[in-house]
Amino acid sequence: MSALLEVADLRKSFAGGRSLFGGARPMVRAVDGISFDLARGETLGLVGETGSGKSTLGRLVLRLIEPSAGQVRFEGQDVTRASRTAMRALRPRMQMVFQDPYGSLDPRMTAGEIVAEPMTAHGMARAEAMRRANDLMEQVGLRRAMATRYPHEFSGGQRQRIGIARAIALDPALVVLDEPVSALDVSVQAQILNLLAEIQARSSVAYLFIAHDLAVVRHVSDRVAVMYLGRIVEIAPRDALYGAPRHPYTVSLLSAVPRPDPAREKSRIRSRPIGEIGSAAALPSGCRFHPRCPRARLVAARGGETLPAAGTHLPRACVEQDPVPAPVGAAAHLAACHFPDET
């Protein structure tokens, strides 16, 4: 069986605009060669620091923005080159839920109208769409009577339920969720995550779930992909990624929580990335993680050929060769590192 979604070498650059002094700024390579697939009913979690390109990737997958290169196939169809008519037919099958439900819900429309809109836009009669909207309100844990209220009359969690009802109105096969619970209180987060799980159990919808909270991603995902400066640096089944991470960036993300045990605390500090995330407008040579990589420093200290880089000496491979994601250990576990066994 073919995958629901197949992404191949997807790229998106943004023009950098002009600097204060009039010179053209370099292009921002927000998504810089990403490949993965997603099965029906599966949840792929997508994590990475701010600016790593998660939202850009989500928008590219749904073709809300045009890619610079690469391909997205959805249910066997080439989304990147689909005509307007073909896209119109595809739209209901792939939907998005945003972080800020308030910003994405029209304040002048009632909740019922908001949920019904994709259905009427797709040719359903208004009365039928409003009837379905009332059913959907119930399915997402709201009362039917609430359909006549306006967005400002709802709490943050309730607004996110409206956003979800609207997204599932046309029974999509894929929903991209961009930080869907980041703006919500922890107790409300759990309710929304449970709702998403119920919907998936019922409908076999697949989720691309974007978040920076690793605990949330662990809770909801079948597989997890870790992004760093426009690339997926590691992708694996959930338990393999959390239990035996192979890329030093993943190791550092997972060790960001302080440990009470002194020995573990020491290893946590050793695995911390150095400095801040770089810029997608000025990508480092070779492995783009090399300026921050604790593992490259350990490998260099043990000998072997090194080059001066990032104010120290680092393994030649790290400075000169861009690592591609390659299988490490368990099936379907890929990491983009020249030294994946140095854990």
Ligand X SMILES: Nc1ncnc2c1ncn2[C@@H]1O[C@H](COP(=O)(O)OP(=O)(O)OP(=O)(O)O)[C@@H](O)[C@H]1O
Binding site for Mg ion (CB under 5 A): 55
Query: Token digits for 300?
Result: 């260099």
- Cβ at position 45, least distance to ligand X in Å: 13
Stretch that binds ligand X, among 52-60, 78-86, 128-136, 268-276 (CB under 6 A): 52-60
Stretch that binds ligand X, among 18-26, 33-41, 47-55, 118-126 (CB under 6 A): 47-55
> Which residues fall within 8 angstroms of residue 196, CB to CB, at 6 or more apart?
164, 177, 180, 207, 220
CB–CB of 235/334 below 8 Å? yes
- Cβ at position 10, least distance to ligand X in Å: 12
Neighbours of 269 (CB within 10 A): 12
Q: Which of 228, 227, 225, 207 is nearest to 94 (CA)?
A: 207
E strand or H helix at 214: helix 214-220
For the chain, the C-alpha Rg in angstroms (whole number) is 22
**Taking CB under 6 A as the rule, does residue 226 contact ligand SF4?**
no
Query: What is the pattern of x (binds ligand SF4, CB under 6 A) and - over residues 289-328?
Result: xx--x-xx---------------------x----x-----
**Taking CB under 6 A as the rule, does residue 336 contact ligand X?**
no
Residue where the block lists tokens 């399915």: 139
**Taking CB under 6 A as the rule, does residue 180 contact ligand X?**
no
Q: What is the DSSP letter of 25?
A: P
48 binds, among ligand SF4, Mg ion, ligand X, none (CB under 5 to 8 A by kind): ligand X
**Taking CB under 6 A as the rule, does residue 231 contact ligand X?**
no
Cβ closer to ligand X: 20 or 127? 20
Stretch that binds ligand SF4, among 96-104, 106-114, 207-215, 332-340 (CB under 6 A): 332-340
Q: Which residues bind ligand X (CB under 6 A)?
A: 14, 28, 30, 48, 50-56, 212, 280
Residues near ligand SF4 (CB under 6 A) are: 248, 287, 289-290, 293, 295-296, 318, 323, 337-339
